[in-house]
Amino acid sequence: MAVPGSGPLTASLRPRFGVVVVCLAVAACASTPPAEKLAQRPLEIVPEHRWPILADDLGIESLLAAAEQSLEYFESVPEETVYAFGSENRTARQMAAGMIRFRTIVRSEPDPHRRAEMLKRDFVLMRSVGRDGHGGVLFTGYFEPILEARREREPPFEHPIYGVPDDLVTINLEAFGLQAQTRQIVGRVDDHQVVPYAERGVIDFGPGLTAPAPVLGYVADPVDLFFLHVQGSGTLVFPDNTRLRVGYAVANGREYRSIGRLLIDDGVISDKNMSMQAIRAYLAANPQELRRVLSYNPSYVFFRPLASAGGPLGCYGVPLTAGRSIATDRRLFPAPVVAWIEGGMPGPDGEEVPFARFALNQDTGGSIRGPGRVDVFIGAGAEAGEIAGRMKHPGRFYLLLPRSI
């Protein structure tokens, strides 16, 4: 769920730290263009005669619901706010007008060919250059876990879901006139100096927090807690059947590191077989490895209660829609615009099931870096987690921008 900019921090306070398969890292071949070059030109305009067939594989109601959330965002920011997409710039006013026009078109024209012709008159289609400079994108999935929890510590429910500690401070570098890749730093004050906040290993397996923090609940499995941090939000279910949705409030400021990459490098799980399920199985079979593996990722998430209605919040502060909301690198794709995605996801028997649909670029993630990574929000619960945990398929990623007026 990408290190946040001002939007993720002030709008939703939830930059999700990637998907379950965030734990994956795929090595680029020697001929792949350098990442910095791809980031300089992340999108290229698609000529009208090369547009894909826009035959959407999901129902229109979920698309309209997701588009409404993005429209609300664009109508909530100053209308002259400018968003840069490669060589194209658009204002919030233009984006809002484009979203309204998009909804009108998809409502009125179900035929994909005629719909594409209507969209060509009002929109520019831009394709991500991908990981290789030729449009290849890796699709993974993420979900919202539902976890059994307790309000008080009791065996085996001994692993706390912390709210924001009293001593954690955030510093907005822009407020001091400083320009940096990250707009803020996180730490704590020690003897009148700001020092880095504790890493995961210290918090969960060492001395612990240096100041009090509210506890939103306790879970029984430290691996469940870790993946709750990875997903950035979840629902806690207590014995009286009451539920509490929790979501990202702030992280400890430490860089995300992939435990999947660690296990691949250790040779215990192959790149091909890497998944959330594989990680869980390895740690269950090797409990002595739990501390070392989980502590390898120093990033730690602190949570806050969320409203129970609707989906989890994306980085623009709008609820996510299962199958329609995606997460990308916000530094390159900086607004919740309409996208077109083509790829595959795991089917019920493990086979790859292709998909092609409109989506809304409504989230980001700590490991979602560069133009070649897209996360698809699958939904909530165990079934969604099973799909998300195994999703790792190539595809294509496009954005639709309203034509500049």
Confidence of residue 33 (pLDDT cuts 50, 70, 90): low
**Per-residue pLDDT reduced to its tens digit, 259-302:** 999 999 999 999 999 999 999 999 999 999 999 999 999 999 99
Confidence of residue 403 (pLDDT cuts 50, 70, 90): very high
Residues 339, 400: contact at Cβ < 8 Å? yes
Token pair listed for 62? 């979920």
If you average pLDDT over residues 102-118, what whole number do you get? 96
Residue 347 lies in a domain: yes
Residue 294 lies in a domain: yes
**Per-residue pLDDT reduced to its tens digit, 142-201:** 999 999 999 999 999 999 999 999 999 999 888 888 876 667 899 999 999 999 999 999
**Per-residue pLDDT reduced to its tens digit, 344-374:** 999 877 789 999 999 999 998 877 889 999 9
Query: Which of 59 and 25 is assigned the larger pLDDT?
Result: 59
* Cβ burial 347-376 (10 Å sphere, 16+ → b, else e): eeeeeeeebbbbbbbbbbbbbbbbbbbbbb
**Residue 99 belongs to a domain with what CATH number?**
2.40.40.10
How many angstroms from the chain centroid is the CA of residue 85? 19
Instruction: For residue 73, count other CB atoms closer than 10 A to its CB.
Output: 23
Report CA Rg, the chain: 21
If you average pLDDT over residues 13-42, what whole number do you get? 46
Q: Which domain holds residue 371?
A: 6-159+218-402
Residue 46 lies in a domain: yes
Q: How far apart are CA 97 and CA 405, in angstroms?
A: 11
Whether 7 has a pLDDT exceeding 70, the answer reads no
Residue 195 lies in a domain: no
Residue 258 lies in a domain: yes
Q: What is the pLDDT of residue 177?
A: 81
Instruction: For residue 302, count other CB atoms closer than 10 A to its CB.
Output: 25
Percent share of the chain, pLDDT over 70: 89
Task: Return mean pLDDT, the chain.
Answer: 89
pTM equals: 0.82
Inter-CA distances, 26 with 29, 260, 382, 393, Å: 9, 10, 26, 12
**Per-residue pLDDT reduced to its tens digit, 228-243:** 999 888 999 999 999 9
Q: Which amino acid is at 75?
A: E
Residue 307 lies in a domain: yes
Strand ranges in 227-279 using DSSP code E only, listed in sequence order: 233-237, 243-251
Residue 227 lies in a domain: yes
Residue 393 lies in a domain: yes
Least confident among 27-31, 331-335, 366-370, 388-392: 27-31
Q: What is the pLDDT of residue 37?
A: 60
Confidence of residue 312 (pLDDT cuts 50, 70, 90): confident
Q: What is the pLDDT of residue 2?
A: 34
Whether 325 has a pLDDT exceeding 70, the answer reads yes
- What DSSP string runs through 286-337? -GGGHHHHHHT----EEEEEE-SSSSPB-TTSSB--TTTEEE--TTTS-S--
Token pair listed for 155? 């065996």
In the chain, the number of structural domains is 1
